[in-house]
Structures are given as C-alpha cells and as structure tokens.
Amino acid sequence: MDKDKEENADFLMDDDLEDEGLLGLPVQEIVESSEENLAPLVFNLMEMHFSVGEIYWNMSSGKKITLFHPGDWIRKEYLQKFLSAGKDIQIDSILNEDYCSKGLNLFDKFLDSDEENEKSKFRDSIIGWLCDGYWNNQEQVGLADLMFVCEQSFFNFDGEEEKKIFNASADLMKRSSIVGSLLVSLAIVMGYLDKNLLKDLYHLSFLFDISLDENVLSTNLINALEQERKTPQSWHSSLGENEVSTFKSHSELGVGKAFAFYENKMSNPGLLNFIETHHERINGLGFPLGLKEGEISDLEGLIIFVNNRFPYSDMTLRHGDACSYLRVLMEKNEELDAVLTNRIKKIVTNEFENRDSEHAKYLEVSGI
C-alpha cells in the first residue's frame, strides 16, 4: 500500500506538479447534523490523523489516485504535495456522521466535566451511545466511527512521535488506533472516569509493540503476532532464530522503550508497565509471564481482552462494519475463555443489558 503511494508521489513529482499555483487549503466537507444542538462534522484533512474514508485525487485523464484508505494515518507532507499543486482532493467518508456528531458531543462534555455527578451523567450517555451502535443494532456503525470519535477526543501525539510510530509499521499504527478506541470505550463502561487515565490508556495502545521498531519488524513478525493471537504458544514455526528472540522479548523490552519515549507525556506513567502483559492470557498460556485470572488487574484484563480479540490482519474498514461489535466480541467461544475475565464480562454485559431493559421499559411506557 505504502509502496503504491510512493510510486504515486514520484509520478506526480515528474509529471504533474508544474506551475499550478498553491492551493494550500485542506479539503473540508461540512455535513449538517440532524440535531440542532450538535456541531456539524468538519473534515479538515490537515488536522486529522487517521482517514475516515478513501482520500483520492481524480486525474484529468479520469484515473483515480488513492492517497489514503479508511483508517490510514494521514501523512501530512505527502498530502501537502497534492494540495500545494492545486489538486482537487476528495474524500468518500465511511462514517455515520450523525452518530459521530453525537459521540463527539458526548465525549467532549464528558472530558470537560470536573464534577463527579456530571461526569457520571455523561458516562451514562456514552454507554447509551455505544450500546445503540456497538451492542445493539439500532445504529449503522463501523469501527471507523469509534476510531474517529476517539481520535478527536484523545489523540495527543506530536508530529515526531506520530512519525516514529508510523515508521515502525503503518498497519500496526492503524490497528493501535482501533484497539485504543475499543480500550477507552470499555474502560468508560467499566467505570473509569479519570480523563487523564483514559487519555493515557488510548496512547498506551500505540506503544504495546514499541520495541518492534522499523529496525526489527518484518512481515514474519506481524504474522507471528496474529498466529499467537489465534493460538497462544504456536507462533514459533514461521520465525527464524533471531526473530524468535525478538518476538519473545518484545513485551518486556517494550516497557523500557516506552518509558524513554513517552513517560513525560503520561499523567500515569506507571501504566506503561502494562506493556509487559499485553500478550498474557487469563489461563496461564500467554507470554512472557504466563499469568492467570487472579493475577491481573482490571485494566490489564481489559488490555488482554481487546489486544487478543482484535486481529492484526485484514483491517479493511467499511461503512457500518461494526454493528453489535462489542456484543460479538464478548460472545462465548473457546478463545474468549482465555482472554476475558468473568468480572469484566459481568460488568460490561450488565451495563449494556440493563440499559436494554431500561430502554424497553421506556418504549413500553411511551407507547412506542
């Protein structure tokens, strides 16, 4: 994918960036919200971090050049080349824009609240918002919607930090933004209300594999991550000797690297220690420590659940691809028993299911 983009860029530099003046303006698409009190979504590509759709340029020949796919990190200097050349850059958004407007509004108010009561009220509304889309089928939602709302609410890496993470692996970075979004959402459902802790959790997701940087990361290692995710302790076969050692030590080494890279930006730097347990299971079959359910905290349990349920491959994002996604993630199967503690399952399920019964009561009373 990246190779294609570079080819496109080279092609442009050769043939198309001549005397076309400066545009210098990002693409904006303004969508009127159906609710009066909600701000319309504004897509300012130069300020966004991850693409919420296919971003492309139509050449005069009619050929379509895709710059970014949904979920890709938007490389500003690459985009700027096109904008500076006056190219007409388009985006086909895959978002449910009304749903995202509601989510942005709720997260904004939640993160702005200092009063516990207020925070609790907005937490409740966020759970309702998540429930409508990612637990029930009442909203047509995709992972891109959650990714977008969480990015807008939490993302705080600076340009250099973004580049370092992207340079290690574009695919891992894209995955991290989804894992981080699922993680903070479930943390809110679990009752974590401290906004600094939630921000830290979101950023922590990008650092799990920080020791697998561009110097050591290979397709083999990414395949091994997926293999280990599906079947713990069965990842060795595809790796060479050096890769086995890199893979085995990456959780432990990641802690030190993450402290060096990001400790100063964290309100709770102690969370970086959880990098060591991101491949643990709750049945002793994870690595490197082989922990069991009683030996992990709730936050570690959430990390283990999300990191081991979300794949490392096939991360194509589509409009509406995640209806009831959280419910599906928590459905009983063999894999789930190894990654989800009873306590987390009970709390999250109760929060969503009790809301269902409250909602049903409301519908009954209101005669709908």
* Sites of contact with Fe ion (CB under 5 A): 209
Residue nearer to Fe ion on the CB measure, 26 or 254 = 254
State the DSSP string of 144-194. Answer: HHHHHHHHHHH----HHHHHHHHHH-HHHHHHHHHHHHHHHHHHHHHT---
In DSSP terms, 116 is beta-bridged to none
SS3 55: strand
Can you read off the two tokens belonging to residue 57? 């340029």
Three-state DSSP at 296 gives: coil
- We find the least distance from the C-beta atom of residue 209 to Fe ion, in angstroms, to be 4
Question: Is the CB of 209 or the CB of 300 nearer to Fe ion?
Answer: 209
Cα(214)–Cα(218) distance, integer angstroms: 8
> Residue with CB nearest Fe ion?
209
| The pair of three-digit structure tokens given for residue 106, joined into one six-digit string | 């709720």
- CA 170 from centroid of its chain's CA atoms: 13
Q: Max Cα separation, the chain? A: 67
Residues 38/105, Cβ–Cβ less than 8 Å: yes
Q: Closest approach of Cβ 210 to Fe ion, in Å?
A: 9
Q: Closer CB to Fe ion, residue 186 or residue 255? A: 255
- Least distance to Fe ion, CB of residue 250, Å: 6
Task: Quote the least distance from Cβ 70 to Fe ion, whole Å.
Answer: 24
Min. distance of Cβ 208 from Fe ion in angstroms? 5
Helices (DSSP H) in the chain: which residue ranges? 2-15, 76-84, 97-112, 116-130, 143-154, 159-168, 170-190, 195-204, 219-230, 241-262, 298-309, 325-329, 334-339, 342-365
CA distance 146 to 125: 15
> Could you tell me the smallest distance in angstroms from the CB atom of residue 325 to Fe ion?
22
State which residue, 121 or 164, has the beta carbon closest to Fe ion: 164
92 in helix, strand or coil? Answer: strand
- The residue among 189 and 222 lying less far from Fe ion, judged by its C-beta, is 222
| For Fe ion, the closer CB: 126 or 204 | 204
CB of 198 to Fe ion, least distance (A): 22
The residue among 86 and 288 lying less far from Fe ion, judged by its C-beta, is 288
Q: Which is nearer to Fe ion, 161 or 226 (CB)?
A: 226
Least gap, CB of 242 to Fe ion (angstroms): 17
